[in-house]
């Protein structure tokens, strides 16, 4: 158990810069999920923490100690790989005991720790088997067990659930979270799946093109996304964006599509009259009704209790709504925008514009 600090971590592969200075402070026992689309640098960041990749500049501190120049072996971290990376020629027991044997622990202690971890994960009956005799879910548990027995300062997870089928993934997700809370080990978890990110993390780091776009708790990110990228990435279906301009002395926005003026519920935004804005509204916050937007529904996706409606405005802007009930038809539909759920972004920078106090 330890804290983790990243200080201005940068990484370039040749001329391509993949990390543009990432800072992060992880408290003891905290579970941080690094989430982002593929190629955003999230795995590279994790590998830099593990020591498998050297940062071009910047520092990594584990438990306050600068580990930047240290080999992976000297960092006392454990990692669960996407491919599990079990040693194919060793039994489950030997897979889990490998790191302990290297540290020269007494045989009896190794046996006890492996046994305890195996029972915790429900794989005690498999200890004599080889990895190729195990199912995907069992391999995943062995990989977890190999990390647990080491009792490391830090757990690193590199998309460990993406090779499992959907049902097992949900089950393992909950199990990882339970284990992590019970053991209280500081953890970094990399994923591209926003549901995994929302459910697993104490805090999330949303990565975008080598930057940490936002670092906050899942609910904070969902309620107050820092920019349009984060707003569009977290939440399913993705947030709708409508171009608008600042109006009424900064207290309202005028939609480009039909000139509708939406007064801000929480106060005025800075800037001149006519400043270009992007208004964000989550599909689940739209309500059917008149006096808002006139939508032409092109596709209805019933999900049982609710339906996702894909439609277009008169000027062709795509808009998605998630409404309760399954009885929706294609064709015209009026929706209203609840003002308290409006997100305001600057159209140029994409940054969130908060209300002035």
In terms of CB distance, is 103 or 112 closer to other proteins? 103
Q: Are strands 57-62 and 65-66 parallel, antiparallel or unpaired?
A: antiparallel
Residue 107 three-state SS: helix
In terms of CB distance, is 1 or 339 closer to other proteins? 1
Which residues in this chain contact other proteins in the complex, by CB under 8 A? 50-52, 71-73, 75, 77-79, 81-83, 85-89, 98-99, 102-103, 132, 146, 150
For the beta sheet containing 57-62, the strands, ordered from the edge strand earlier in sequence to the opposite edge, are: 16-26, 4-13, 57-62, 65-66
Query: DSSP labels for 67-104?
Result: -TTS-GGGTTEEEE-TT----TTS-HHHHHHHHHHHTT
Beta-bridged to residue 20, according to DSSP, are 10
For residue 281, report the phi and psi dihedrals to the nearest 5 degrees.
-140, 125
In terms of CB distance, is 150 or 192 closer to other proteins? 150
Minimum gap (Å) between residue 163 Cβ and other proteins = 12
Element (H, E) at 146: helix 136-149
Minimum gap (Å) between residue 97 Cβ and other proteins = 10
From its phi and psi, is residue 152 left (phi > 0), alpha (psi between -120 and 50) or beta? beta
In terms of CB distance, is 12 or 98 closer to other proteins? 98
Minimum gap (Å) between residue 188 Cβ and other proteins = 13
Tokens of 335: 């929706």
In terms of CB distance, is 78 or 117 closer to other proteins? 78
In terms of CB distance, is 72 or 271 closer to other proteins? 72
Minimum gap (Å) between residue 334 Cβ and other proteins = 53
From its phi and psi, is residue 122 left (phi > 0), alpha (psi between -120 and 50) or beta? left
Contacts of 136 (CB under 8 A, 6+ apart): 163, 164, 165, 168
């Amino acid at each position: 158990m330890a804290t983790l600090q990243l200080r201005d971590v940068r990484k370039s592969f040749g001329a391509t810069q993949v990390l543009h200075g990432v800072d992060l402070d992880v408290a003891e026992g905290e579970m941080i999920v690094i989430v982002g689309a593929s190629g955003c640098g999230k795995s590279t960041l994790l590998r830099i923490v593990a020591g498998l990749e050297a940062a071009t500049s910047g520092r990594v501190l584990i438990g306050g100690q600068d580990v930047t120049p240290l080999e992976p072996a000297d960092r006392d971290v454990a990692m669960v790989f996407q491919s599990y990376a079990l040693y194919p020629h060793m039994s489950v027991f030997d897979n889990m005991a490998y790191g302990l044997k290297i540290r020269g622990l007494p045989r009896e202690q190794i046996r006890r720790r492996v046994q305890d971890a195996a029972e915790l994960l429900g794989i005690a009956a498999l200890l004599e088997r080889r990895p190729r005799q195990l199912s995907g879910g069992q391999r995943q548990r062995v990989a977890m067990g190999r990390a647990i027995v080491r009792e490391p300062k830090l757990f690193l997870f590199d998309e460990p659930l993406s090779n499992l089928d959907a049902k097992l993934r949900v089950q393992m997700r909950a199990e990882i979270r339970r284990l992590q809370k019970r053991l209280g080990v500081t953890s970094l978890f990399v994923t591209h799946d926003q549901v995994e990110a929302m459910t697993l993390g104490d805090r999330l780091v949303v990565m975008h093109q080598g930057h940490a776009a936002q670092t906050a708790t899942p609910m904070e990110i969902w309620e107050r996304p820092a920019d349009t990228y984060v707003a569009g990435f977290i939440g399913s279906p993705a947030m709708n964006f409508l171009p608008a301009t600042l109006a009424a002395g900064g207290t309202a926005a005028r939609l480009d599509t039909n000139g509708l003026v939406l007064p801000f519920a929480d106060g005025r935004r800075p800037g001149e009259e006519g400043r270009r804005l992007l208004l964000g509204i989550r599909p689940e916050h739209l309500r059917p009704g008149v006096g808002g937007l006139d939508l032409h529904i092109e596709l209805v996706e019933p999900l049982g209790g609710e339906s996702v409606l894909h439609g277009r405005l008169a000027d062709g802007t795509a808009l998605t709504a998630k409404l309760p009930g399954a009885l929706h038809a294609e064709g015209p539909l009026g929706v209203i925008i609840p003002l308290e759920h409006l997100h305001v972004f600057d159209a140029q920078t994409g940054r969130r514009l908060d209300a002035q106090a």
